[in-house]
Amino acid sequence: MKHKSILSIFIFLLGLSVTTTSCEDMLTPDMNRYNEGFSGRDTVNFYFGIIANVQDMVEQNQLLNDLRSDLATVSTYSSDTISDIINYNRQPNGENGLLNRAAYYKVINQCNFYLSRVDTLAQKNDMQYMKKEFAQVVNIRAWVYMQLVQTYGRVPFISKPVNDSNTGWETNPEAWATADNLVDLLKKDLEAANRIEHDTKYGGYPAYGQLDTKTGFTVNTSYLLFYSDLILGDLYLLRGRGVAGESSSDYVKAASYYYHFLKERAQDKGHVVTSTRASITKHEEQGTDIYSYTGNADSWMNLFANTSSLQANENITVIPSSANGQSGHKILSQAAQIYGFDMTSTISGGQVSVGLYGNLRSRQVEPSEAYLQLSAAQNYAHVDKYSDTGNDLEWEYYEGAGDARIYATAPTYRVTNGTGNERFIMKDAPKGKFKFYKSVYRLRQVYLRYAEAINRAGYPRLAFAVLRNGLAKKKFPKGLLAEVDVNSIDTENKTFKYIYSLDSCEQNNAINYIGVDELRRMEKDPMYATYLDFGYAASTGDYWTNNGIHEAGCGLSTVEDSLYSYDEAVVNRVADELVRTEGLSASAAVKRARQIVIKEGEGGEGSEGGEGGEGGSGTVIPDLSDYTDITPEPTLPDPMEINAVETMIADELALEMAFEGTRMFDLIRLALHKNNDSFLPADYGTNWLAWKIARRNEPLAPYAEPRVMDGALYNKLLNPENWYIRNPEY
């Protein structure tokens, strides 16, 4: 290997680019430059060049995701470029400053060239040392293809390097990649990468040390890694085939990949959801009933701060930014500027300092009414001096306080040229500071996708636990208790049934709603150990100690919280969906929802004795060794219950992940799930997505007056083609 600073290589390669025009994805690539010094055995230069060119598409990808979603809207100062994206004016690629499909294919072509030349059999010290880097390039290519498909819907798939712009690959590719076939096109290479990463003896991940961005922000290159577990999980989740109860469904496969990542990374890196959260303080005027609230989101916003630890591994994969173009780095400042922050950059003593200044006239995008109303609709639960042993000194709802995360995500911000406090989107300017990286994957995002997968796999109560309590061994019921239902013993036919109930949990904020049927199905699931077992513990302790994602903005979960409980929150969401889609009255919808979720009159999924009544006390039970157990199989959840929990996950994705470049992809993926559900109308998801986005400017609570919306936008989005950016025209 050449003896050259990794940092200097990285800085140099950040400046490399390939010029493109509006209707060409690549001019004739400079393959001579690719070939220079490229032996297939000494490729670190080229690998970092690939990472560098991911910079050219990552910010565009973020903005196209967020601007088209239900969370953003135009401002008084929006440019035509921004308003066209937000308003779904579908122009050909190249006719809008934010559209550049070429940036994605530039990375793909570099990956294809690398993969065509890399020598994975090359050995040093009896190790095939190129395999780890090979796996990374496979992962990066797959991730970029996934962004393309979710942005454009249907795109050319190429797996060989393009060295001639006249090959016609744009209109006659190897295949056309879509959400339905992308996993099949990529999984062979990804599964090979997965085997390398899981090889504890010779595999794993490449390690290249630290990157000094000369800004005071040093990032370990371990944070530049892409993980095949996450990408395979995302691909299966995107396709979303199968129904609840099928162990071969895409949802089970997705959940298994997420689970494996979380389990292994929990062991190696401490990847658990911590108590880091935003909070709200209540202020009461002495001697009156008048009170007000203030939010404190500093602790939660620290997850996005510029620290070398990247906040205790909450960030999993990042793409670093520079702060000054003189170094040849890519400056990832476009999002902050569009959201209203002017930037200054100075260099002194080799270090770069950056200043951000809110400017109302630079603010082209505002948080939508839908986002503000969703945040305001949350119930904040205040717990004073909470402990796992249940010693709560004080507990109450803060009426009307909403979700505390908004104080960091889109707070009111005073600027000199404004009329007062104005709302600014601040994920790219945490605490008014320039953010030196883009997060591609972070921990809570992975848990929310895991929840999405297990919900569709048939475990909505476990999925709700990801939101409310977090997944940890001590929060689960100790198990199932079973006793013979003496009233069911049939001596003539020699049959009997069991009554099941839940054993107690170890702590106060336990998952007390998991339900007998769901726990029985979990224990009978043939894939249980690969994606549902949260009893995992090693000699050094129990790694499954997560807090609920909802707790990040709405206070700690306790048994006293009846509003954000399964039987209350999910019942209400099922009812909301029934009112929206079937026009039922509120009372009729709630009655039907309670029958669906609580199964009133049947013992109830969440009850201690969920199936049948108590046996007669003192009854003598005969020898049952030659009797047949005819206990009914546990029932599957109602499809409307799964659908309702999925919409709640969608809400949590908005509250936790807003303006991080995932929202439109989340909406599309969830809409496809609903459309693929054979128990729901074929266009259920299409209508849901169109309705969500068409209500983004309505100052209404999430399900209030469901017929009120932007009718023109709704009708436009009833055509799924309009969910996507148009491909270039040739």
290-327 tens-digit pLDDT: 889 999 998 888 888 776 666 555 889 999 887 665 54
| CATH 1.25.40 boundaries in the chain | 6-224
Q: Look up tokens 């689960």; give the residue.
A: 476
Residue pair 723/717 in contact (Cβ under 8 Å)? The answer is: yes
Other C-beta atoms lying within 10 Å of the C-beta of residue 524: 10
3-state secondary structure of 442: strand
25: which 2 tokens?
Answer: 């994805």
Q: 505, 554, 556, 570: which is closest to 534 by C-alpha?
A: 505
Q: 730, 497, 511, 461: which is closest to 627 by C-alpha?
A: 497
* Upper half-sphere CA count for residue 258 (Cβ side, 13 Å): 26
Residue pair 335/434 in contact (Cβ under 8 Å)? The answer is: no
**What letter represents residue 677's amino acid?**
D
Report the alpha-carbon distance of residue 470 to residue 478 in Å, rounded: 16
Local confidence band at 118 (pLDDT 50, 70, 90 cut-offs): confident
Helix axes 44-67, 101-117, angle to 10 degrees: 150
Q: 44, 77, 13: which is closest to 330 by C-alpha?
A: 13
Beta bridge partners of 295: 280
Residue 24 has pLDDT above 70, yes or no: no
Mean pLDDT of 497-506: 83
**What letter represents residue 351's amino acid?**
Q
Q: 177, 42, 158, 182: which is closest to 110 by C-alpha?
A: 158
142: which 2 tokens?
Answer: 């797959």
3-state secondary structure of 461: helix
Q: What is this structure's pTM?
A: 0.92
- CB contact burial 322-332 (16+ within 10 A = b; e otherwise): bbbeebebbbb
Q: What is the CATH number of domain 6-224?
A: 1.25.40
3-state secondary structure of 66: helix
* Upper half-sphere CA count for residue 209 (Cβ side, 13 Å): 9
- CB-based contacts of 204, cutoff 8 Å, min separation 6: 132, 196, 197
**What letter represents residue 385's amino acid?**
K
- 225 CA to centre of own chain: 17
Q: 210, 427, 184, 154: which is closest to 304 by C-alpha?
A: 427
Gap between the terminal Cα atoms of the chain: 43
Report the alpha-carbon distance of residue 468 to residue 502 in Å, rounded: 19
What does DSSP assign to residue 504? P
Q: Give, in order, the Cα–Cα distances in Å from 409 to each of 6, 292, 304, 496, 699.
A: 35, 20, 11, 57, 19
The 10s digit of each residue's pLDDT in 440-465 is 999 999 999 999 999 999 999 999 99
94: which 2 tokens?
Answer: 């190249």
Report the alpha-carbon distance of residue 605 to residue 461 in Å, rounded: 10
Q: What is the mean pLDDT of the chain?
A: 85
Mean pLDDT of 110-123: 86
Compare 556 and 122 and report the one with higher pLDDT.
Answer: 556
Report the alpha-carbon distance of residue 64 to residue 629 in Å, rounded: 57
Between vectors from CA 154 to CA 153 and to CA 159, what angle results, nearest 5°? 125
The 10s digit of each residue's pLDDT in 379-431 is 999 987 655 555 556 789 999 999 999 999 999 987 877 666 889 999 999 88
β-strand 495-496 against 628-629: which pairing, if any?
Answer: parallel
**What letter represents residue 626's amino acid?**
D
Highest mean pLDDT among 273-287, 392-406, 689-703: 689-703
3-state secondary structure of 288: coil
Q: Look up tokens 């050449």; give the residue.
A: 2
Q: What is the DSSP code string of 665-712? A: HHHHHHHHHHHH-TTS-TTHHHHHHHHHHHTTT--S-TTSSTT-S-HH
pLDDT above 70 as % of the chain: 83
Mean pLDDT of 72-83: 95
pLDDT of 658: 97
The 10s digit of each residue's pLDDT in 588-625 is 999 999 999 998 655 556 544 444 334 444 567 889 99
